[in-house]
Amino acid sequence: MNKKLMTLAVIAAVALLASGYVAGTWHANTTLTTTATSSASEKEPGRKVLYWHDPMMPNQHFDKPGKSPFMNMQLEPVFADEGASSGVKIDPGLQQNLGIRYATARRVDVASGFEAVGTTQFDESLADVVQSRVTGYIDRLYANAPMQRVSKGAPIASLFVPDWLAPQEEYLALKRSGMDDAMLAASRERMRALSIPDAVVANLDRTGRVQTHVTLPAPAAGVVTELNVRDGAMVAPGQTLAKVAGLSTLWLVIDVPEALALQVKAGMSVDAVFAGDTTQHFTGHIREVLPGISTGSRTLQARLAIDNKDLALTPGMLMRARIGGATTASRLVVPSEAVITTGKRSIVIVKQADGRLQPVSVTTGNDSGSDTEVLSGLSEGEQVVASGQFLIDSEASLKSVLPRLEAAGSASNTAAAAQTYQTTGKVEAVTSHDITFSHQPVPALGWGAMTMAFNKPSATAFPDVKTGETVHFAFKQSDDGYELTKVEPMGGGK
């Protein structure tokens, strides 16, 4: 009997200990939960909480704190002063780690016109050719390769002309036989008709020696751009032996982008700078705009002549040209690296007064050096992100900032394409802005049963909905979260 009493006493003690442990654990968990849900308000005294959300699902709002139905983490509050601001806020320390730099939109005096790239070429209008007027053979070729430099009067080739022998011998025979001047004059005219130079005829009169070789000189100083014969080759009358292009004047052929093709006109001033030495400036006026757009580069070519008397330039050099830069105008510019071009529009990330970063769509103009002209979307003095903007752009996309910009241009298409979801729930609260439901799961979105607020399409929408009733409702995703499209009592009434 005593053993039974002792056993019962031990069991009662163990039960008391277990109940005490359970009560203590429940009290600790309750304290931790209360502390966790209220810590945000305690850390931010005086700030009104609009709603709670899961940072991984920022578009879904909850009217009370608790654990996220999506992640194993506590919901975080969104305060009134945060909810009213657009854009994203990045911790200053994180900004420093990301290397984010800012630049100020400023007005500068920019020369009118535009910049383009060009290359130097031979001035074909000044090119000379070396031709043969007689039938002969190349006795010696002095210029033996294309692109060889020659001076004016330098020998290009020496010709042996067999057909010159007979008329010269005839002239000497007439002269030795004492023929009158009329016969000698007729013989000299015959030699000129056979393209025997006057210098050869004069030398024949002076020395009495027949000359059957002639040297063809370079008509001007320059470069042999074409060489069409070799030693020993036979040449015919009118055949071009070589082509000589001068270097004292060069063509600058400028490639104008197709988008600027209508702005370039003949007579516009050009200030060109050699890409290898920015101190070398060459000026001129566009002589002509060549017809046709290049299908490969989509550019239009404009041509002008530039002075090269000191022979500082050679054909093929790259030049940066400023076209029509005589006048200046005040323009709003930002660094070119601050502009994000998506293909459909251009965006800059603007730093707002409260430190938030807001993507802004802008209209850009021409580039001027390292700056880009902004035609609309920015004001002078605004700060823009000059580096790291792609990271900010990604963060802004997560918070639905950029989708709101896209929706502004295609709101009708977005509304038509929005998918509608349905479920049932109990009405917990009704305000002019939203209705809070304790609703059943939504499998299409992967939601479990939860309590959350849904936006009303207008303040007067669904006037008959009362707190506490069970309803069937439909909603769709919008830029500001989820918006109700239908709310009906479970009985089917409106």
pLDDT at 484: 92
Per-residue burial over 236-262, b = 16 or more CB atoms within 10 Å of its CB, e = otherwise: eeebebbbbbbbeebbbebbbbeebee
- Would you say residue 465 lies in a domain? yes
Higher pLDDT, 327 or 66: 66
What pLDDT was estimated at residue 250?
A: 93
- What number of H helices and E strands is found in the chain? 9, 31
Of 224, 245, 266, the residue at which a domain comes to its end is 245
Same domain for 41 and 108?
Answer: no
30 and 101 share a domain? no
Do 77 and 99 belong to one domain? no
Q: Which amino acid is at 291?
A: P
Read off the tokens for 355: 């430190």
Assess if residue 200 is contained within a domain. Answer: yes
Residues 130 and 238 in one domain: yes
Taking only the tens place, the pLDDT of each residue in 180-211 is: 778 888 888 888 888 788 888 888 888 888 88
Mean pLDDT of 412-440: 79
392/397 Cα distance (integer angstroms): 9
State the average pLDDT over residues 232-236.
Answer: 90
3-state secondary structure of 423: strand
Show which of 210, 245, 280 is a domain's final residue: 245
- 273 within domain boundaries: no
Q: What is the CATH number of the domain that holds 422?
A: 2.40.50.320
Confidence of residue 144 (pLDDT cuts 50, 70, 90): confident
Q: Are residues 96 and 159 in the same domain?
A: no
**Does 36 reside within a domain?**
yes
Cβ contacts of 90 within 8 Å, gap of 6 or more: 98, 100, 357, 392, 395
Beta strands in 142-200 (DSSP E): 148-150, 155-160
Q: Cα–Cα distance between 46 and 375 in angstroms, integer?
A: 43
Kindly state whether residues 205 and 130 are assigned to the same domain.
yes
171 and 218 fall within a common domain: yes
Return the CA Rg of the chain: 46
Report helix angle 165-176 to 198-207, nearest 10.
40
CA 311 – CA 294 distance, rounded (Å): 30
Q: Left (φ > 0), alpha (ψ -120 to 50) or beta: where does 355 sit?
A: left
Instruction: Please state the rounded mean pLDDT for residues 288-302.
Output: 91
Same domain for 215 and 129, yes or no, is yes
How high is the pLDDT of residue 27? 44
Tokens for 343, please give them: 């293909």
182's CB contacts (< 8 A; 6+ apart) are: none
| Confidence band, pLDDT 50/70/90 cuts, at residue 43 | low
Residues 163-177: tens digit of each pLDDT:
888 888 888 888 888
Model pLDDT for residues 377-400, shown as the tens digit of each residue: 899 999 998 886 666 555 555 444
How high is the pLDDT of residue 255? 93
Residue 427 shares a structural domain with residue 361: no
| 352 occurs within a structural domain | yes
Count: domains in the chain: 4
Domain assignment present for residue 307? The answer is no
Mark whether 219 and 169 lie in a shared domain: yes
Parent domain of 350 = 92-112+329-398
Do residue 342 and residue 454 come from a single domain? no
**pLDDT value at residue 10:** 45
pLDDT greater than 60 at residue 326: no
Greater confidence (419 vs 17) lies with: 419
List pLDDT tens digits, range 330-340.
889 999 888 98
Q: Domain check: are 464 and 390 in the same one? A: no
Between the alpha carbon of residue 66 and those of residues 36, 53, 211, 279, 390, the distances in Å are 9, 10, 115, 69, 34
271 touches 321 (CB < 8 A) = yes
